[in-house]
């Protein structure tokens, strides 16, 4: 199984993030996550590691607003130039806006803080010196996996960091800057009908946003109910698409304490929907934060549950590009990832 991975992610390591109530904590989405997965996959005899190809900006701009990508590219340098304190000790700082736009009437302004509050959704999408290049490399991992699955008609894995499914057309959020799965799925949709299945614990609001009015990519997200869980404002069951996209998006918001049986029941229904759509390719947004005990989740999916989830999805017999999203129980992350991937090798 081809595994696409770049060391560029290590340069995106914000010194903190801000939780509810203004609590500053160490950054949960950190390089140790990748090290745990790499260590476990290198123990296997089926993981074939490759560096990603550079696909340029065109596939990214096909799903993201150009001004937003320009903001990601220039943000840190502008921040350094505008604040002497940051310039003197950049390793202690991360760019985060203090004012957030009410998007119904807002527009980006010329000031960095104004654009930051327009293009960033929350206080976990911290930008540092290496963020933009890491996000580009992550997107190229996803595109390389999509290309491999298309060319070889098999399954592949993009070990993406930063993750992507919370990034919308023109905003960052939830540790995500470029929507890797959406970029890969849009690229594949030029080759044939494509579906995205998001099994991260948190709803894939960015992916939903990008494809909400399209009928050529069928999107499904299984996640914690936004009535109690991030991202709070998207992921409800009655959100099914708009315009020609009506009926081509589906959310499965699940209650707190969902276990293996409850999760797999929703998954089986989602897989039936995918079979009805009859895609030629599948993009799987895989987040391991459904795991029992994950610090950012409230589900109780076990390692045996991951095995069954992978088995059922692989049973679709579709060329599948598996895209890494979340998962923050680092001690278990490598084994959980390997357990799911073994079904696709």
What CATH number does residue 336 fall under?
3.40.800.20
Whole-angstrom Cα distance, residue 197 to residue 284? 5
User: Is residue 166 among the annotated active site residues?
Assistant: yes
Give me the pLDDT at residue 107, please. Answer: 84
pLDDT in tens, the chain (345 residues): 999 999 999 999 999 999 999 999 999 999 999 999 999 999 999 999 999 999 999 999 999 999 999 999 999 999 999 999 999 999 999 999 988 987 767 788 899 999 999 999 999 999 999 999 999 999 999 999 999 999 999 999 999 999 999 999 999 999 999 999 999 999 999 999 999 999 999 999 999 999 999 999 999 999 999 999 999 999 999 999 999 999 999 999 999 999 999 999 999 999 999 999 999 999 999 999 999 999 999 999 999 999 999 999 999 999 999 999 999 999 999 999 999 999 999
CB 112 within 8 A of CB 70: no
Give me the pLDDT at residue 23, please. Answer: 93
Number of domains in the chain: 1
Examine residue 221 and state whether it is found in any structural domain, yes or no: yes
Examine residue 139 and state whether it is found in any structural domain, yes or no: yes
Whole-angstrom Cα distance, residue 236 to residue 234? 6
Give me the pLDDT at residue 341, please. Answer: 98
Examine residue 101 and state whether it is found in any structural domain, yes or no: no
Model pTM above 0.95: yes
Strands of the sheet with 2-4, listed across from one edge: 48-50, 2-4, 156-158, 320-324, 281-286, 194-198, 217-224, 249-254
Examine residue 45 and state whether it is found in any structural domain, yes or no: yes
Of these residues, 93, 166, 249, 300, which one is catalytic? 166
Examine residue 264 and state whether it is found in any structural domain, yes or no: yes
Print the domain residue range for 39. 2-54+131-341
Give me the pLDDT at residue 108, please. Answer: 87
CB 109 within 8 A of CB 128: no
Examine residue 172 and state whether it is found in any structural domain, yes or no: yes
Give me the pLDDT at residue 101, please. Answer: 85
Examine residue 99 and state whether it is found in any structural domain, yes or no: no
């Amino acid at each position: 199984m081809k595994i696409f991975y770049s060391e560029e992610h290590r340069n995106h390591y914000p010194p903190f993030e801000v939780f509810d109530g203004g609590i500053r904590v160490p950054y949960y989405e950190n390089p140790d996550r990748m090290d745990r997965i790499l260590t476990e996959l290198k123990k296997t005899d089926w993981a074939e590691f490759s560096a990603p190809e550079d696909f340029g900006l065109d596939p990214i701009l096909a799903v993201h607003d150009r001004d937003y990508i320009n903001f990601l590219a220039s943000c840190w340098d502008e921040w350094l130039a505008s604040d002497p304190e940051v310039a003197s000790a950049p390793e202690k700082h991360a760019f985060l806006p203090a004012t957030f736009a009410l998007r119904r009437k807002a527009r980006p302004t010329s000031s960095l803080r104004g654009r930051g509050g327009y293009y960033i959704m929350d206080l976990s999408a911290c930008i540092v010196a290496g963020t933009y290049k890491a996000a580009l490399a992550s997107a190229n991992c996803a595109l390389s996996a999509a290309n491999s699955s298309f060319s070889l008609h098999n399954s592949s894995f993009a070990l993406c960091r930063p993750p992507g499914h919370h990034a919308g057309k023109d905003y960052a959020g939830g540790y995500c800057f470029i929507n890797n799965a959406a970029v890969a799925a849009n690229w594949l949709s030029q080759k044939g009908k494509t579906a995205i299945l998001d099994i991260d614990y948190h709803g894939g609001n960015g992916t939903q946003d990008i494809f909400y009015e399209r009928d050529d990519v069928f999107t499904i997200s299984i996640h914690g109910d936004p009535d109690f869980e991030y991202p709070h404002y998207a992921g409800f069951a009655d959100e099914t698409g708009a315009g020609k996209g009506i009926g081509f998006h589906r959310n499965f918001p699940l209650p707190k304490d969902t276990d293996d049986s409850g999760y797999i029941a929703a998954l089986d229904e989602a897989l039936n929907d995918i079979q009805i759509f009859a895609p030629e390719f599948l993009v799987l947004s895989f987040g391991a934060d459904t795991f029992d005990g994950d610090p950012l989740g409230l589900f109780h999916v076990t390692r045996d549950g991951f095995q069954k989830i992978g088995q059922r999805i692989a049973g679709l017999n579709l060329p599948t590009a598996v895209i890494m999203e979340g998962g923050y129980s680092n001690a278990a992350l490598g084994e959980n990832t390997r357990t799911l991937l073994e079904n696709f090798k």
